[in-house]
Amino acid sequence: MQKESLVLVEHPLVQHKLALLRDKNTGTKEFKEMVSEIATLMCYEATRHLPTEEVEVETPMALSKARVLSGRKLAFVPILRAGLGMLEGVAHLVPAAKVGHIGMYRDPDTLNPVEYYNKLPRDIAERDVIVLDPMLATGGSAVDAVTLIKKRGAKTIQFIGIIGAPQGVERLHKEHPDVTIYLASLDEGLDANGFILPGLGDAGDRIFGTQ
Ligand code: PRP
């Protein structure tokens, strides 16, 4: 089993956009755009190690050696609702990737995730999977989503979030040490309601304007 790892993406563009996300005065339109743009940049980092192979292409001038992707195909799995906000941004980079959806909400009393929807690509076992959810709070939703995807046979799974709490990172590492976690920030912790502090509030509500 691969060693657990957390990658914090400290790129200035990501951090600048994250500052806008955190700001309570940022409205729905801009918030949604920023989530999508950060997702694109995070996906760029998370796909850094994809295997490539050498090919020959004919340029208008001469024959050239070039490199193309050679590994397994990708599948993106956003956790509804908030993960949906990241989908457009990552699909922009890898338009051929298939998309699965897992619907989960957190029970406000127990903070345990409740699954209400699950539709994954039929061939997910043959794909490398990237789970999307901007918030990794207690980690319950991410752990359950990865468990579900593994039950369908997928072997290589990564998690792209935006903000995480130490508790969530620890739990996902403990339950699924093979899953690399990509975040733009590791925040201080959680409040009594399981919200990340300082965080950015409720990502789903801010993306879809349902506050
Ligand atoms: C939020 C967030 C994550 C989850 C994180 O979803 O978008 O999916 O909570 O919490 P956890 O790490 O403690 O499981 P929420 O339940 O608010 O649903 P929504 O995305 O539909 O708003």
Q: Is 79 in the pocket of ligand 1 (CB under 6 A)?
A: yes
Per residue in 75-118, pLDDT (tens digit) is 999 999 999 999 999 999 999 999 999 999 989 889 899 999 99
pLDDT at 2 over 60: no
Tell me the percentage of the chain whose pLDDT exceeds 70. Answer: 98
Q: Is 35 in the pocket of ligand 1 (CB under 6 A)?
A: no
**Which residue CA neighbors atom 2 of ligand 1 most closely?**
135
The Å distance, Cα 138 to ligand 1 centre, comes to 9
pLDDT at 9 over 60: yes
Averaged pLDDT, 141-158: 97
The Å distance, Cα 23 to ligand 1 centre, comes to 19
Q: Is 106 a catalytic residue?
A: yes
Q: Is 102 in the pocket of ligand 1 (CB under 6 A)?
A: no
Q: Is 133 in the pocket of ligand 1 (CB under 6 A)?
A: yes
Q: Tokens 């994954």, residue?
A: 120
Tell me the percentage of the chain whose pLDDT exceeds 90. Answer: 95
**Which residue CA neighbors atom 7 of ligand 1 most closely?**
82
Q: Is 144 in the pocket of ligand 1 (CB under 6 A)?
A: no
Are 153 and 128 spatial neighbours (Cβ–Cβ below 8 Å)? Answer: no
Q: What residues does 53 pair with on adjacent strands?
A: 68
Q: Is 205 a catalytic residue?
A: yes
State the catalytic residue, choosing from 110, 123, 147, 210: 110
The Å distance, Cα 201 to ligand 1 centre, comes to 11
pLDDT at 4 over 70: no
What local confidence, expressed as pLDDT, does residue 1 receive?
A: 44
The Å distance, Cα 86 to ligand 1 centre, comes to 14
